[in-house]
Amino acid sequence: MKKLFIATLLCLCLLGCSSNESVEATNILSLEEERIIPLSVALVDIVAELDIPMVAVPDSQYELHPAAQGLPTVGFSMAPDVEQILDIDPTTVISLVTLKSMIDTQLNAGGIEPMYVNLENITELKNTVQVIGDTFGKSEQAEQLIANFEAEIEAVVADVADKDDTSVLILFGFPGNYMVASDLSFVGQMTSLLGVTNVAGEQKMVYVQMNLEEILIQDPDVILRLSHGDASIVKEMFDTEFITNPLWAQFSAVQQNKVYDLDDSMFNVSATLDTPEAIRLLADIIYE
């Protein structure tokens, strides 16, 4: 039954149609004429792996793709420097649709109309890879990149197909508070691919508030803690919560030291080309 469930879910994630309506392939443009600036680490990776030249990249606390070495930076993804972008005179600026509300007005004021794409989950990432490839004359490279990506995920899923049923609680923390991540979240989708039961159950929202006593009744085997924002601040918040709230001490996962803080460079809120590696790391954590 578990094998059938995982196989079905994998097909939905890897072959399913994207709901992303914000990205559509445009006419193929000459790369010699294009001056492209991707405004996120994940987008830099995609553009670089498709062998599409870039003229600038975002600032980041994380290591960028080697192809970005020596390129000028134009501010962070959530706060790009419009003047620096205009000085570079790009033909295409690519950003994430999840950041649109934060940066669109600022960029539009400078006459910049970004190409917004979606990386909220695995399906959207594949769609974005194909759209970027189609847009810049790299369709075949995009298809191959997607095929390799899918094969790596399938290999990890096959390795855990015979593992015992396991349940998980995914906590999404940000400075000052935390919520429970459902299977609609990126990390939730990865645990689903691994055949793990998310105690959040079926939800219509990516992140939800849940009563801790109700979660305790389900007593998940593993607790994963995901940070957004300043990871050190969020980890300290989680540590304080787990020490001061006596309910946490009753969880089997806490008693058995199966509470894990996920590396925010690998486990973020969006899918990346490193997702297969992230799924394998997650499998090692859950099924150790």
pLDDT score of 31: 62
pLDDT tens for 10-63 read 555 554 444 444 444 444 446 667 899 999 999 999 999 999 999 999 999 889
Spell out the domains of the chain, with CATH numbers in brackets.
2-156 (3.40.50.1980), 164-286 (3.40.50.1980)
Orientation angle between helical segments 186-193 and 275-286, nearest 10 degrees: 60
pLDDT tens for 100-146 read 999 999 999 999 999 999 998 899 999 999 999 999 999 999 999 99
Strand pairing class (79-80; 75-76): antiparallel
Q: Is the pTM of this model over 0.75?
A: yes
Nearest to 94 by CA among 51, 146, 69, 58: 58
pLDDT tens for 76-101 read 999 999 999 999 999 999 999 999 99
Nearest to 225 by CA among 280, 170, 180, 179: 170
pLDDT tens for 199-221 read 998 888 989 999 999 999 999 99
Three-state SS annotation for 203-259:
CCCCEECCCHHHHHHHCCCEEEEEECCCHHHHHHHHHHHHHHCHHHHHCHHHHCCCE
pLDDT tens for 237-280 read 999 999 999 999 999 999 999 999 999 888 888 899 999 999 99
